[in-house]
Amino acid sequence: MKLQIIPDSLLDQYRMHVTEYALSGRFSQLKDAEISTDGFSFYTSVASVYSSKIEGETIELDSYIKHKRFGVEFQPDYTRKIDDLYLAYQFASAAALDRNRLAEAHALLTRHILPKSYQGKFRSKNMYVTTKDGRIEYVAASPFQVEEAMEKLYVDINLLLKNDLTIEEALYFASMIHLVFVKIHPWNDGNGRSARLLEKWFLARKFGEKAWFVQSEKYYYVHHQTYYDNIRALGLEYDFLDYSKAMPFLLMLPEALRSEG
């Protein structure tokens, strides 16, 4: 495969860190939760809650399950962004993975984050990721680079979806898709939520519905300082990113799979 933007230079080293047999066995054991019904998915709730908590939402999983599964009412501001992300995960679980569907998923998950004119649309301004005290910690791709970079990413994803991959290869490329996407930072907001959804969406298109049961978002939240440190490790500016430093981030997804149970 000749990929345009997703680095494969760490794949051989990655294989030395993960064991395909063990990962395959762990993946085969995944199953839906007993609490899930035709109208409620426990693991979609887990993904939506913890991906949102990474972004600073204060909702708790127990409260959200009471709301989503049992109809307990809370203040709308407490649940609406998580409800939007839940809908985006539902949408992705039944949709092909391509540029149009990703834009639709973004429009769903940002219904109460961005104005409608920004939903599913690439940003047209510079993007800086800042710390809580206002310091710039990352300069994303310029708006003039975004469309070309995303086009390359779509081409790579399509190529990877067409090729047979082992589970270790699929986990490697799912993590790299997550990382490349979040470094491009194509939207005005909702980039982290989209990146984590995209990672799992790719796995599901390769290996079926069991991929949606991987609690990667929860793992990233529990280890959110490490998660952010590993993303930051590549560098401060998009034009000077060093993907040779991506291994600690890449190993988080197999660790999330190993920690299931």
Specify the pLDDT at position 20. Answer: 79
Six token digits for residue 261: 């149970």
CA–CA gap between residue 11 and residue 166 (Å, rounded)? 12
What pLDDT sits at residue 259? 86
What per-residue confidence (pLDDT) applies to 131? Answer: 82
Q: What is the separation of C-alpha 35 from the centre of its chain, rounded to a whole number of angstroms?
A: 24
SS (H, E, C) 22-56: HHHHHHHCCCCCCCCECCECHHHHHHHHHHHHHCC
Kindly report, residue by residue over 135-192, the tens digit of the pLDDT.
Answer: 899 999 999 999 999 999 999 999 999 999 999 999 999 999 999 999 999 999 999 9
Are the beta carbons of 54 and 220 closer than 8 angstroms? Answer: yes
3-state SS string for 204-258: HHHHCHHHHHCCHHHHHHHCHHHHHHHHHCCCCEHHHCCHHHCHHHHCHHHHHHH
Question: What is residue 181's predicted lDDT score, i.e. its pLDDT?
Answer: 98
pLDDT in tens, 18-45: 987 688 888 999 999 999 999 999 999 9
How sure is the predictor about 261, in pLDDT bands with cuts at 50, 70 and 90? low
Q: Is 11-258 a CATH 1.10.3290.10 domain?
A: yes
Q: What is the largest CA-CA distance in the chain?
A: 51
pLDDT tens digit sequence for 69-91: 999 999 989 999 999 999 999 99
